[in-house]
Chain A
């Protein structure tokens, strides 16, 4: 019996030793996937995914705690990029393909409290105390932070109205 155990044990020890050496030589630092993912994200720290910041969300996605389609403002493009980076299949069902929206201020009830433009992560709202506030459509990411802090409920996220310039052909049914 010993004659069969010993060679096998010896073989195992030898191979284990070789692998140990190899793992030292071929040591890879923790991959910078998280940082690469963060670069793909909008970077507005809007918090819609539930993480406090884009950096934290990227960490979570790299660790597999968030699905690739976690970023609502990034939409399909970001989801595809993240899925490609992680080598994961993309589950588009989890991505609610919402219509693009924009914040809109109801000028009748805006009291000029300045709270909204202080929280706007992209400086998309301009205004001054006791003055009307305005949303710059180009910079608004529809994160909804302003909606939350508005004391009078005058800010709402409304779907973007389609114009001749933004209109595109729909998908033909096949």
Chain B
């Protein structure tokens, strides 16, 4: 088999055994759901319900706005109690506009939702539209609106659809469980997406530390024309560049989209959501969330309605064994650190981890010893130590010339660093700084143009006034002359 050499990568302890034996259980409805209007990359959705309004399960409560956006649906029937700011599941802890929904416990479905009898008979554009209106985003964690990705891939024409079952982040087992329990739905979803982008072939890539998932998917894929391949377990195998290169041999060029190379990648959970939306008429209103970490009493996987507060989820499903040293939403490598549990589960929440002091690195950062471990670990082939040194010195442009824009923030360098340097934090800081400088420069350009136009206007107005006065004076002079001449 063709197996290109992959760059970098690390082998963090998986800790998958904490939660991969427990089947997915349905989580009961919380007393209140908080539905942020921004659960995806792009423009926030616009709310279309009023406070006090009754909504049905699956009903559209916020519509997408702009080209890159995704709508939000009600996870259950109930009453809209508020349209107010709520803490966002975001490293900043800043508030985000959210719809507060009080469930009535009746679980009444919106009657307008109906499954399509034969989705494969629909034209591809129609499929993309339907996937978009179901609010589906990339469930691997990037939360890019799925329909936008599918639509642009359809226009560009892609050859291969890759289903990402890598799940290389430690602790997380939600995709693993989903592949074991619903392999048929995942494969059907993959075939629907294949039709939506008119791809020639479908490949599912699954890390070899999930043999049961691999077997289940293999079985479901038999005779469907879907290729299932096992890939070595190495972080970040679930990263687009890595998986695409391993499965197709195509190395995605820097700063380009996968579709440019004729490849489209989606998470297995996204495929299942597509299946549910088209064949069951169920928009994206819940997702599988891994609860893990040794600070919890019961680790496991739950199908959680979106908007469920994390505190409710943990209190109901597990409770703490000991005070957690760190709370993380997502995986430990790329997830976000939560200041508290007062945040809702959103579309991108693959897991909620409560880690003990033993599980995290609490060392103070020391001086870089230039061991170049980060260079070996970087999957993008960058030199994290050089970039970090320049960023620390305030030379962001130099860091950019060393490839800062290619950094995917996978955290392999921070993980491997013997000096515990917060490398990814430094890169995120530099990326933010560069972006804000660009914004400032753009604003300056704009205000300069405005100021120039104002100057020109003032000059023109002065001249016009002058001309008007001159004309009036001339008219007055003529009049005076006219009165004088006859006499």
A108 within 8 A of B: no
Given A75-B440, A139-B446, A164-B88, answer yes or no on A174-B392 (Cβ-Cβ < 8 Å). yes
B88 partner residues in chain A, CB cutoff 8 A: 164
B433 partner residues in chain A, CB cutoff 8 A: 168
Contact with A along B314-341 (1 / 0, CB 8 A): 0000000000000000000000000000
Contact of A123 among B38, B421, B450 (CB under 8 A): B450
B365 within 8 A of A: yes
A171 within 8 A of B: yes
| B:424-444 near A, CB below 8 Å | 425-426, 428-429, 431-433, 435-437, 440-441, 443-444
B421 touches A139 (CB 8 A): no
Contact with B along A152-168 (1 / 0, CB 8 A): 00000000001110111
Contact of B452 among A43, A164, A171 (CB under 8 A): A43
A44 within 8 A of B: yes
A51 within 8 A of B: no
Write the chain B residue with the least CB distance to A77.
Answer: B437
* Consensus secondary structure, chain B interface: helix
B91 partner residues in chain A, CB cutoff 8 A: 169
B436 partner residues in chain A, CB cutoff 8 A: 166, 168
Contact with B along A119-150 (1 / 0, CB 8 A): 00111100000000000001101000000000
A42 within 8 A of B: yes
B447 touches A167 (CB 8 A): no
A122 touches B451 (CB 8 A): yes
B444 touches A74 (CB 8 A): yes
Contact of B94 among A139, A167, A174 (CB under 8 A): A167
Contact of B421 among A44, A74, A78, A174 (CB under 8 A): A174
Given A122-B454, A164-B38, A174-B365, answer yes or no on A44-B448 (Cβ-Cβ < 8 Å). yes
B421 partner residues in chain A, CB cutoff 8 A: 174
Q: How far is the CA of A92 from the CA of B88 in the complex (A)?
A: 35
Nearest Cβ distance between residue B57 and chain A, in whole angstroms?
28
B444 partner residues in chain A, CB cutoff 8 A: 42, 73-74, 78
Write the chain B residue with the least CB distance to A136.
Answer: B450
B429 partner residues in chain A, CB cutoff 8 A: 168-172
B92 partner residues in chain A, CB cutoff 8 A: 162, 164, 167
B422 within 8 A of A: yes
Contact of A168 among B365, B432, B440 (CB under 8 A): B432
B156 within 8 A of A: no
Write the chain A residue with the least CB distance to B93.
Answer: A167
Q: How far is the CA of A52 from the CA of B422 in the complex (A)?
A: 46
A48 within 8 A of B: no
B446 partner residues in chain A, CB cutoff 8 A: 138-139
B90 partner residues in chain A, CB cutoff 8 A: 164, 167
B453 within 8 A of A: yes
Q: How far is the CA of A45 from the CA of B12 in the complex (A)?
A: 56
Interface size for B (C-beta < 8 A) is: 34
A167 partner residues in chain B, CB cutoff 8 A: 90, 92, 94, 432
Write the chain A residue with the least CB distance to B88.
Answer: A164
B441 touches A139 (CB 8 A): no
A162 partner residues in chain B, CB cutoff 8 A: 92, 94
B216 partner residues in chain A, CB cutoff 8 A: none
Q: How far is the CA of A20 from the CA of B443 in the complex (A)?
A: 49
Write the chain B residue with the least CB distance to A46.
Answer: B451
Nearest Cβ distance between residue A115 and chain B, in whole angstroms?
16
B454 touches A164 (CB 8 A): no
Given A77-B440, A164-B94, A164-B96, answer yes or no on A43-B425 (Cβ-Cβ < 8 Å). no
A123 touches B453 (CB 8 A): yes
A122 touches B392 (CB 8 A): no
| B:398-436 near A, CB below 8 Å | 421-422, 425-426, 428-429, 431-433, 435-436
B441 touches A124 (CB 8 A): no
Q: How far is the CA of A45 from the CA of B440 in the complex (A)?
A: 17
Nearest Cβ distance between residue A171 and chain B, in whole angstroms?
5
Write the chain A residue with the least CB distance to B43.
Answer: A165
With most chain A CB atoms within 10 A of its CB, the pick from B428, B429, B448, B455 is: B448
A residues contacting B by CB (< 8 A) are 42-45, 73-78, 121-124, 138-139, 141, 162-164, 166-172, 174
Name 11 A/B residue pairs within 8 A (Cβ), A-sorted.
A74-B444, A122-B450, A122-B454, A123-B454, A139-B450, A162-B94, A168-B429, A168-B433, A169-B428, A172-B422, A174-B422
B residues contacting A by CB (< 8 A) are 38, 88, 90-92, 94, 96, 365, 392, 421-422, 425-426, 428-429, 431-433, 435-437, 440-441, 443-444, 446-448, 450-455
- Add 14 more A-B contacts to A76-B437, A168-B431 (CB < 8 A): A42-B451, A43-B448, A44-B450, A44-B451, A45-B451, A78-B444, A121-B451, A123-B453, A123-B454, A164-B96, A168-B428, A169-B425, A169-B428, A174-B392
A-B pairs, 3 with minimum CB distance: A168-B432, A43-B448, A169-B428
